[in-house]
Amino acid sequence: MTLNPIRPWRNVMRRKSRQIMVGRVPIGGDAPISVQTMTNTDSADVKATLAQVIAAANAGADIVRISTPDQAATQALREIVRESPVPIVADIHFHHRRAIEAAEAGAACLRINPGNIGDAQRVREVVKAARDNGCSIRIGVNAGSLERHLLEKYGEPCPEAMVESGLDHIKLLQDNDFHEFKISVKASDVFLAAAAYQQLAEVTDAPIHLGITEAGGLRTGTVKSAVGLGNLLWAGIGDTIRVSLSADPVEEVKVGFEILKALGLRTRGVQIISCPSCARQGFDVIKTVEALEQRLEHVRTPISLSIIGCVVNGPGEALLTDVGFTGGGAGSGMVYLAGKQAHKLGNAEMIDEIVKLVEARAALIDAEKP
Ligand code: SF4
C-alpha cells in the first residue's frame, strides 16, 4: 500500500507478508502500518493504566501493550480490556500461567517467546489458550536476552543469532499448527536491529513488528528510531511499529506517526511544513508554529499546512499544501487555500484565523470522503 500514487519516486514497495489480526486491527498484508505503544503504570492499577491507554489511543495508537508480570496484573487486564478503545497486547516473560490468564482476560495478542516458557506441554497449553480466545502472538526476540546456546554458537548478539532465535520460536508455534503470529528482532543498536530485520524479512512471511529497543530519551530515541525504523520502512519492511522512548507513551505514538507520515505510509492530523526562519521572516515563525501545533492537535483529518516566513519559499510550498500562509512584511501575509492565493491576513489575527481555516478545510475533506 502506498499513499503516493501520483509520484512514483515517492513509492514504498512493501514486503509481502501474510495478515493476522490483533483484535480488530489487521497486521500485515495490505493493512496500514499500525502504531503501538506500551503503558508504564502499575498494570494492577486499572484506573491509571486505562487512563494511559485512552491517552495513547487519542494520540493515534492503534494497539497498546501492557506488562502482566503477576496475577494482579492479569486480573486487572480483564477490566482494562473491557474499557479500552483499542486492542490490548499482554506482555509476558517466562510465565506460561500469566499467558493463559491474559488470553482468558481478553488480551488481543500475547507478546511471549514460546521457547522461554518451559516444556512442550506448556507451549501447547499457551497456544490452546490463545486459539480458544482468538488471541494472536508476537514473538519478541531481543538482542539483550538471546538464548545462551545461541550466544555460545555465535559469540555475541548478531543478526544471524537473532534470526535463528526467531525461527526457533516460530517452529514451536508451527509445530502446534498455530500461525497467527508476528515477530520482532529488536536491538538498541541501529545497525544490529536493521541487519536482523533485513535478514528476518528474507526468511519468513510473518508480519513484522519493528522497533529499536531502549532507544533513549525523547530526542535521542526519536532520532535513533527515525534512522532505524525509517530505513527499514523505506525498504518496505515492517507491518507495525513501536517507538521505545524513556518518555510518555503519548510521545511514542506521536513519533511513530511522524515517521510513517514522513514516508507517506500513514496520514493523520495536520502536517505542518514550516521554514526555520531567518532575518527575512515577516512574522515570528517559530512561536507561530509552536502555537499552531498546540491549537491544531485535536484535528485528526490528514491535512497539510505551510507556514513560511517570507516569499522566498512561501508561495511554492503553499502550492502543495491544503492551507498556506506566507509572511509578506508590513504586518500581514498571504493565505493560500488548496494551492491558490486567497486573501491577505494580518499577523495579529493569523493564529486564530489559520486554526479556523484548517478546521473548516478538514471538515470539507471529511465531507467529501466517500
Ligand atoms: S522562507 Fe524566508 S523567512 Fe523562511 S527561512 Fe527561507 S528566507 Fe528565511
Q: Summarize pLDDT for 272-283 with one digit per residue, the tens.
A: 999 999 999 999
Determine the Cα–Cα distance for residues 279 and 285; give it in Å rounded to an integer. 11
288 lines ligand 1 (CB under 6 A): no
Angle between helices 350-368 and 285-295 (to 10 degrees): 40
Mean predicted lDDT score pLDDT of the chain: 94
Q: How far is the CA of 342 from the centre of ligand 1 (A)?
A: 21
Q: How far is the CA of 54 from the centre of ligand 1 (A)?
A: 39
User: What does DSSP assign to residue 349?
Assistant: G
pLDDT confidence of residue 182: 98
Helix or strand (DSSP H, E) at 357: helix 350-368
* High-pLDDT (> 70) share of the chain, %: 98
100 lines ligand 1 (CB under 6 A): no
Determine the Cα–Cα distance for residues 216 and 247; give it in Å rounded to an integer. 9
Closest approach atom of ligand 1 to CA 276: 5
One pLDDT digit (tens) per residue for the chain, 370 residues: 445 556 788 889 999 999 999 999 999 999 999 999 999 999 999 999 999 999 999 999 999 999 999 999 999 999 999 999 999 999 998 899 999 999 999 999 999 998 888 888 999 999 999 999 999 999 999 999 999 999 999 999 999 999 999 999 999 999 999 999 999 999 999 999 999 999 999 999 999 999 999 889 999 999 999 999 999 999 999 999 999 999 999 999 999 999 999 999 998 999 999 999 999 999 999 999 999 999 999 999 999 999 999 998 888 889 889 999 999 878 999 999 998 999 999 999 999 999 999 999 999 999 988 7
Closest approach atom of ligand 1 to CA 278: 8
pLDDT confidence of residue 6: 67
Closest approach atom of ligand 1 to CA 281: 3
309 lines ligand 1 (CB under 6 A): yes
| Residue range 127-171, pLDDT digits in tens | 999 999 999 999 999 999 999 999 999 999 999 999 999 999 999
Angle between helices 46-58 and 249-262 (to 10 degrees): 20
312 lines ligand 1 (CB under 6 A): yes
User: Which residue among 307, 312, 321, 334 has the greatest number of ligand 1 atoms within 8 angstroms of its CB, and so is best to mutate?
Assistant: 312
277 lines ligand 1 (CB under 6 A): yes
Residues 63, 127: contact at Cβ < 8 Å? no
Distances (CA, A) of 223 to 186, 230, 271, 273: 16, 10, 18, 19
pLDDT confidence of residue 3: 52
Residues 301, 322: contact at Cβ < 8 Å? no
Q: Which set of grid coordinates corresponds to residue 102?
A: 491474559
Q: How far is the CA of 151 from the centre of ligand 1 (A)?
A: 53
* Region for 282 from its dihedrals, namely left if φ exceeds 0, alpha if ψ lies in -120 to 50, beta otherwise: alpha
Determine the Cα–Cα distance for residues 170 and 340; give it in Å rounded to an integer. 54
307 lines ligand 1 (CB under 6 A): no
pLDDT confidence of residue 293: 95
pLDDT confidence of residue 90: 98
313 lines ligand 1 (CB under 6 A): yes
Tell me the pTM. 0.92
pLDDT confidence of residue 1: 41
Residues 100, 75: contact at Cβ < 8 Å? no
* Region for 94 from its dihedrals, namely left if φ exceeds 0, alpha if ψ lies in -120 to 50, beta otherwise: left
Closest approach atom of ligand 1 to CA 313: 1
Nearest CA to ligand 1 atom 2: 310
Angle at 54 between CA 263 and CA 256, to 5 degrees: 15
User: Which residue among 272, 273, 274, 281 has the greatest number of ligand 1 atoms within 8 angstroms of its CB, and so is best to mutate?
Assistant: 281
DSSP3 helix / strand / coil % (the chain, rounded to 5): 45, 20, 35
